[in-house]
Amino acid sequence: MNQFAALSEQLLRFSPDALVVVDSAGLIQFANETTRTLLGYAPERLIGQSIDLLVPDRLRPRHSAHIGLYLKNPANREMGARVTDLVARRADGTEFPAGVRLAPFQIGSGHYVAAAVRDMTYQRAITDALVAARTEADRANRAKSRFLATASHDLRQPMHAIRLLNGSMQKVAGPIPSLQELLRRQELAIDHATRLLDSLLDVSRLESGAVSPQLGEVNLGSVFADLRHEFDSSAQSKGLHLEFSDTQSVVSTDRMLFIQLLQNLIGNALKYTERGYVRVAQTFDSECLIVKVEDSGIGIPADKLDRIFDEYYQVDPHGAPRLGVGLGLAIVREVSRLLGFGVAVTSRIGEGTAVSVRIPRQKLLQEAPPPRVDRRAAAPAAVRSGNLILLEDNQSVRVATELFLNLEGYRTRSAATVKEAERLFGAIEPGDILVADYRLDGQMSGLDVLNRMRAALGWNIPAVILSGDLESVFRVVTEPIPQCRFLSKPVDTRALTEAIAALASQAVAARTPG
Ligand code: ADP
């Protein structure tokens, strides 16, 4: 026992913390040797002194109040670990950031508190440096994201015009093979630049923290149908089977972001597969609904699997042309983080890749909502195939669009402003279609003009709305709008003509008695 008493004394003596024991009046009853080096007081000088001696003058009133409160309700407690302004005062009046741990105890009827005081100068300096570095990194990241978002947006308009002009040139170039080949190459380059722009904008927006998921009931079957619609023609042009499983599942998630995630996975599967299939299927395990995108493509080497989600990382294609920009899976990573999904990849070289999106069962809503019925009126009967009413405030884009649509065989009437568009209202006839930019100068959007036009006409004129930032548009437009298609700028010229043709044939079908 005596041995242990001696050991305790040595431990107290050489503890790295200054140890003091205070009675219920706040007077120091014990101090160890470390008070000499840490606080500049020989232990015996502290005995009988108020603990306030170790606190800077300016903090004494607050400290006394704290001590009073603590002594009323003493408990083991660490002070200073999170309190940044806790400071101790040395005998020479200098101060240092301190961490203090308190332990109350009783001897006979006497109540005491043991306090261990530690110099936190080094830890505080590290914490301060980390906080400063983090603040700086956040600032730089926000600046980068702002720059990218602005640059991407401002680049979209001229890119949109270039795409339309390229489409027009393909039309007027006629059957001159060398010229057609040049234009086809130019189109590929424009497509690549457009994809890069889209991906940069997506990644910067996701990383800037500006995107917060808008949860809703998302019917997986309708998501699959939209994706089939979007990817069918590119699968067909490569001779690939694109298959979607049947599903009744309804998930609580953000529809736009979920579609964006699957678009990237299906886009990759089609890109990296030359023959065979791309399958999109749902399965379940005990914890998750799993949406699996599987392909019979080139596969990914096992040692690269953990890097493919990094920004700009692309597996070395061994002389083959690079097909993407290396941002698709970074977008998948960010979106799944936002939506609370997991993502897992398995792959075999030469056999194919499977990416599983794991959706926790808590997000699975069992019943599919009933299909929405559109009660708005369809266009009246007896019409001729009509004009395109073009509303676009950017002059070069308007001219390029007009040129392209005229070469495609459409007649156009153009408006540069909402006022000009309103002047055209009286001349609109069933069969006409509105093609409008979403973001117009002034208060009204292209969609506002569409609504105003429909109200004035008394029937639903079909419309194509173009926007450089569809994601933001879909945050405002959450309900489907009948006979209205949204397309992204820079527009894919084929998608534009297909949308117009589909709207025109829908309008004809609606007028043909069943
Ligand atoms: P990229 O734009 O290059 O497709 P991603 O971030 O989408 O960029 O993918 C990163 C890399 O992962 C790709 O460059 C490709 O090498 C590889 N990869 C992604 N998906 C597949 C897939 N389904 N099959 C084979 N390789 C893939």
400-445 confidence digits (pLDDT tens): 898 888 888 889 999 999 999 998 888 888 889 999 999 888 889 9
364 CA to centre of own chain: 21
Pocket test residue of 202, 268, 275 for ligand 1, highest count of atoms within 8 A of CB: 268
What is the CB neighbour count within 10 angstroms for residue 305? 15
Q: Give the distance (Å) from ligand 1 centre to CA of residue 196.
A: 14
Q: Report residue 508's pLDDT band, with 50, 70 and 90 as the boundaries.
A: low
pLDDT for the residue 320: 56
Out of 22-36, 371-385, 483-497, least confident range: 371-385
300 CB within 6 A, ligand 1: yes
265 CB within 6 A, ligand 1: no
User: What percentage of residues in the chain have a pLDDT greater than 70?
Assistant: 90
* Residue nearest atom 13 in ligand 1 by C-alpha distance: 314
The pair of structure tokens assigned to 411 is 């007649």
Q: Report residue 324's pLDDT band, with 50, 70 and 90 as the boundaries.
A: confident
Q: Give the distance (Å) from ligand 1 centre to CA of residue 306.
A: 12
* Residue nearest atom 11 in ligand 1 by C-alpha distance: 314
List CB contacts of 2: < 8 A, sequence separation 6 or more.
none
Q: Give the distance (Å) from ligand 1 centre to CA of residue 314.
A: 6
The CA-CA-CA angle for residues 221, 224, 228, to 5°, reads 140
Cα→Cα distances 457→201, 258, 429, Å: 38, 36, 9
Q: Is the peptide bond before 490 cis (omega within 30 degrees of 0)?
A: yes
For residue 498, give the nearest of 464, 470, 451, 475 by alpha carbon.
Answer: 464
pLDDT for the residue 490: 86
pLDDT for the residue 273: 95
424 CB within 6 A, ligand 1: no
325 CB within 6 A, ligand 1: yes
For residue 469, give the nearest of 445, 494, 451 by alpha carbon.
Answer: 445
Residue 368, pLDDT above cutoff 60:
no
Mean local confidence (pLDDT), 458-468: 92
Pocket test residue of 200, 262, 265, 300 for ligand 1, highest count of atoms within 8 A of CB: 300
Q: Report residue 4's pLDDT band, with 50, 70 and 90 as the boundaries.
A: confident
For residue 291, give the nearest of 232, 215, 360, 202 by alpha carbon.
Answer: 360
276 CB within 6 A, ligand 1: no
Residue 367, pLDDT above cutoff 50:
no
Q: Give the distance (Å) from ligand 1 centre to CA of residue 309.
A: 9
For residue 174, give the nearest of 407, 401, 411, 402 by alpha carbon.
Answer: 407
Cα→Cα distances 45→27, 49, 352, Å: 12, 8, 78
pLDDT for the residue 11: 82
Residue 465, pLDDT above cutoff 80:
yes
98 CA to centre of own chain: 41
Atom of ligand 1 nearest to the CA of 311: 6
Out of 70-79, 267-276, 490-499, least confident range: 70-79
472 CB within 6 A, ligand 1: no
User: What percentage of residues in the chain have a pLDDT greater than 90?
Assistant: 44
pLDDT for the residue 323: 66
pLDDT for the residue 211: 79
467 CB within 6 A, ligand 1: no
For residue 487, give the nearest of 411, 436, 416 by alpha carbon.
Answer: 436
267 CB within 6 A, ligand 1: no
pTM to 2 decimal places: 0.57
193-207 confidence digits (pLDDT tens): 888 888 888 887 787
Nearest-angstrom CA–CA distance, 453 and 448? 8
Pocket test residue of 197, 308, 318, 332 for ligand 1, highest count of atoms within 8 A of CB: 308
28-86 confidence digits (pLDDT tens): 999 999 999 999 999 999 999 999 999 999 888 888 777 777 777 766 665 544 444 68
Nearest-angstrom CA–CA distance, 430 and 381? 8
On whether the CB atoms of residues 109 and 117 are closer than 8 A, the answer is: no
Residue 241, pLDDT above cutoff 90:
yes
Look at 155 and 414; give whichever has higher pLDDT. 414
* Residue nearest atom 16 in ligand 1 by C-alpha distance: 315
Q: Report residue 365's pLDDT band, with 50, 70 and 90 as the boundaries.
A: confident
Q: Give the distance (Å) from ligand 1 centre to CA of residue 499.
A: 30
For residue 394, give the nearest of 440, 438, 434, 435 by alpha carbon.
Answer: 440
The CA-CA-CA angle for residues 409, 411, 416, to 5°, reads 130
Q: Report residue 375's pLDDT band, with 50, 70 and 90 as the boundaries.
A: very low
Look at 266 and 12; give whichever has higher pLDDT. 266
Atom of ligand 1 nearest to the CA of 328: 7
Atom of ligand 1 nearest to the CA of 324: 2
Look at 323 and 166; give whichever has higher pLDDT. 166
Q: Give the distance (Å) from ligand 1 centre to CA of residue 404.
A: 34
129-142 confidence digits (pLDDT tens): 999 999 999 898 88
Residue 93, pLDDT above cutoff 90:
yes
Nearest-angstrom CA–CA distance, 339 and 215? 9
Mean local confidence (pLDDT), 308-322: 75
263 CB within 6 A, ligand 1: no
Pocket test residue of 203, 272, 349, 353 for ligand 1, highest count of atoms within 8 A of CB: 272
What is the CB neighbour count within 10 angstroms for residue 397? 22
Nearest-angstrom CA–CA distance, 283 and 368? 17
On whether the CB atoms of residues 101 and 79 are closer than 8 A, the answer is: yes
Residue 221, pLDDT above cutoff 80:
yes
Atom of ligand 1 nearest to the CA of 322: 3
Most confident of 200-209, 265-274, 313-322: 265-274
Torsion, Cα 290 291 297 299, to 10 degrees, reads -40
Tell me what the pLDDT averaged over the chain comes to: 85
On whether the CB atoms of residues 388 and 410 are closer than 8 A, the answer is: yes
Domains annotated for the chain, with CATH where assigned, are 14-119 (3.30.450.20), 214-372 (3.30.565.10), 387-511 (3.40.50.2300)
Residue 262, pLDDT above cutoff 80:
yes
Residue 382, pLDDT above cutoff 50:
no
